[in-house]
Amino acid sequence: MHVCEVGPRDGLQNETVLVATSDKLRLIAGLAAAGLPEIEVTSFVRPDLIPQLADAEEVLRTALATLSTRVRALVPNLRGAERALQAGAPALLQVIGASETFNRKNVRRSVAESSSELHAVAAAARRGGATAMLSVSTCFGCPYEGDVPVEAVTRLVEAAGRAGMLRVEICDTIGVANPRQVYALCEQLRREFPDMRFELHFHDTRGLGLANVVAAIDAGIVEFAGSLGGMGGCPFAPGATGNVCTLDLVNMLNEMGVRTGVRVEPLIELGRWLEGVLGHRLPGHVLRAGVQPVVAKES
Active site residues: 234
- Cβ 29 vs Cβ 55: under 8 Å: no
The DSSP call for residue 296 is: P
- 73 phi, psi to nearest 5 deg: -130, 140
- Cβ 267 vs Cβ 238: under 8 Å: no
**What SS3 state is found at 51?**
helix
- Cβ 71 vs Cβ 42: under 8 Å: no
Nearest to 230 by CA among 253, 254, 260, 250: 250
Nearest to 221 by CA among 286, 149, 172: 172
The per-residue DSSP string of 83-147 comes to HHHHTT-SEEEEEEESSHHHHHHHHSS-HHHHHTTHHHHHHHHHHTT-EEEEEEE-SS-BTTTBS
Residue 224: alpha-carbon gap to chain centroid: 8
**What SS3 state is found at 57?**
helix
| Helix residue ranges, H only, the chain | 21-33, 56-66, 78-86, 100-107, 111-115, 118-127, 150-162, 179-192, 209-218, 246-255, 264-278, 286-289
- 211 phi, psi to nearest 5 deg: -60, -40
- Cβ 10 vs Cβ 232: under 8 Å: yes
